[in-house]
Amino acid sequence: MSSNGKVIPHTPLAVDFWHVRKCPSARLFFLSHMHSDHTVGLTSTWSGRPIYCSPVTAKLLRIKLKVKEQWIHPLEIGEPYLLPLDDIGKERLTVTLIDANHCPGSVMFLFQGYFGSILYTGDFRYSPSMLREPCLMNHTTIDVLYLDDTNCDPNRTLPTRQKATQEIKEIIRRHPDHNVVIGLYSLGKESLLVELAKEFHTWVEVSYERMETLKVLELQDVFTTKQGDGRLRVVDQSEITSAALHDWNSEQSTLVILPTSRTYHLLPSQCPRSSLFGPLLLPGGGGFCLHA
């Protein structure tokens, strides 16, 4: 798996980069969020260097990667923190965490020090409210910007999450006799699941592993690990295969929804006849994309 981390040149800072031998000058390590492509190389054996992250990410680090608590330093979002850059505290920097609107616990980092001001967005979904962040409004000049450009295409417009949610609700509402399978990564889009559970007055079936994550997030009590209790079922995207689609539709007509901006293709021969849509729906054209 490729890594999305970075050692920031001419500083002792590393963000989402955990190969210590490749960055001997790095002293401070920051984790933007808990998606696996940002934790490549980070394991339970991590030691000797503090990891700075949001409080939610700190909890997930403990339960998912088993990183020892002594190395995890949660920082509150929106609060400036002064951190030493050397052993004697002669050189220091200020870091402020900004909500990245990507997945639970995800943040951007604003670093300010002898190197100027560096904004590291990590993965984020832009919202106009970000421009009203106090740390960005106080005449702050950004000298270096590390930007998530996943959907940086002037010819492409992403609908809002609210619009995408309404489209998904309408699709489900038009097919009351269908079970619904939603393909997600291990973290992200939990707010959509809560919305759907409330709208259709049903439990959302999840795996035991996903339930552990949901408990950390302290969401509304709409999730269950008991099969058959709910109309909505969440699976990992990797579980959505032609064989799985055939099995699900052989039991009952099933909608499979992928709330993502990515494109998936299956051959017509792979689509179960009992599915009205073929298997894959990408409502909103990526409205539930977690990136800018």
Domains in the chain, ordered, with CATH? 6-146 (3.60.15.10), 161-285 (3.40.50.12650)
Strands 80-84 and 92-99: antiparallel
**CA geometry: angle 160, 163, 164, nearest 5 deg:** 85
Q: DSSP secondary-structure letter at 74?
A: E
- Nearest partner of 191 among 165, 227, 213, 171, judged by Cα: 165
pLDDT band at 283 (very low <50, low <70, confident <90, very high): very low
> Mean per-residue pLDDT for 139-163?
80
Q: Do residues 184 and 71 touch, judged by C-beta distance below 8 A?
A: no
The pLDDT score that the predictor gives to residue 277 is 41
Tokens of residue 51, six digits: 């990891």
Residue 222, pLDDT > 90, answer yes
- pLDDT computed for residue 290 by the predictor: 52
Q: What is the mean pLDDT of residues 18-32?
A: 92
Q: Over range 200-210, report the average pLDDT.
A: 97
Q: Which ranges constitute the DSSP H helices of 178-217?
A: 190-200, 208-217
In this model, does residue 288 exceed pLDDT 60?
Answer: no
pTM of the model: 0.86
Least confident of 142-156, 235-249, 277-291: 277-291
Q: What is the pLDDT of residue 88?
A: 67
pLDDT over threshold 80, residue 287: no
Q: Is the pLDDT of residue 194 over 70?
A: yes
Q: Which of 41-55, 154-168, 172-186, 253-267 has the lowest mean pLDDT?
A: 253-267
User: Predicted confidence band at 259 (pLDDT cuts at 50, 70, 90)?
Assistant: confident
What pLDDT is attached to residue 131? Answer: 85
Contacts with 11 (C-beta within 8 Å, 6 or more apart), sequence order:
111, 113, 115, 118
Lowest-pLDDT choice from 71-75, 194-198, 243-247, 258-262:
258-262
The pLDDT assigned to 27 comes to 92
> Does pLDDT of 267 surpass 60?
no
pLDDT at 48: 86
User: For 121-143, what is the mean pLDDT?
Assistant: 87
pLDDT band at 269, cuts 50/70/90? very low
Report the mean per-residue pLDDT for the chain: 87
Once rounded to an integer, what is the mean pLDDT over residues 185-198? 95
Q: Closest Cα partner for 16 from 43, 39, 41, 46?
A: 39
The pLDDT confidence band at residue 78, using thresholds 50, 70 and 90, is very high
The candidate with the shortest Cα–Cα distance to 40, out of 20, 58, 57, is 20
What local confidence, expressed as pLDDT, does residue 286 receive? 47
Quote the CA–CA distance of 18 and 71 in Å, as a whole number: 13
CA torsion 136→141→146→147, rounded to 10°?
60
